[in-house]
Amino acid sequence: MFAKRIFDILFSFVGLVLLLPIFFIISVLIIFESKGGVFYLQTRVGQFGIDFKLFKFRTMFTDSDKKGLITIGMRDSRITKVGYFLRKYKLDELPQLMNVFIGNMSFVGPRPEVRKYVEMYNDHQKLVLNAKPGITDYASIEFSNENELLGNSQNPDETYISTIMPAKLELNLKYILEQGLTTDLKLIFKTILKIISH
């Protein structure tokens, strides 16, 4: 685990430095399009059930989360024009490099969930909380079209709770059993290919 932390610190720092110009451009576009801050900080449940603030570029109009925690398709009316572009190419996730550098996330690990849904986990599913959450993992790749699936549902919240969340948790648990530097590198590579192909 020490080697993984060193990897996370080194590459998140390099990533933040190299991407600084892109961060600046995205920030300007967000500010000019709609009122509100550049970043969206959402409380997620991290390792051992401890809450932390997850960084994302803001892709919705201010206070949109009060209308629901689930994004219903890429054409959700709460998403800004810039936000649509950022979400399509996963650029809204880039600020999570700060979470990785700080140490409450890793490059690879189960995606952190909001408290509302974590409270629904059974004892077996709660084992995912033993691992540090990550930017990507098996579930992130498998459900890269999650917003589209929810957008096609008559009841998005129910679809997420009954179908998508259990499947994602099983993949999260699979990662915990197989985790290691080789697995992490493979998942990072697959994630990059997924984004490019998308």
Which residues, other chains included, contact 16 with Cβ-Cβ below 8 Å and sequence gap of 6+? Answer: 23, 97, 98, 101
pLDDT for res 64? 65
Which residues, other chains included, contact 64 with Cβ-Cβ below 8 Å and sequence gap of 6+? Answer: 78
CB 101 within 8 A of CB 8: yes
Q: What is the pLDDT of residues 24-66, one digit of tens each?
A: 999 999 999 988 899 999 999 999 999 999 999 999 887 766 6
pTM value > 0.85: yes
**Is the per-residue pLDDT at 67 higher than 70?**
no
Enclosing domain of residue 156: 2-197
The structure tokens listed for 59 are 């892709």
Q: What is the pLDDT of residues 77-126, one digit of tens each?
A: 789 999 999 988 889 999 999 999 999 999 999 999 999 999 999 999 99
Percent of the chain whose predicted confidence (pLDDT) is above 90: 73
Domain count, the chain: 1
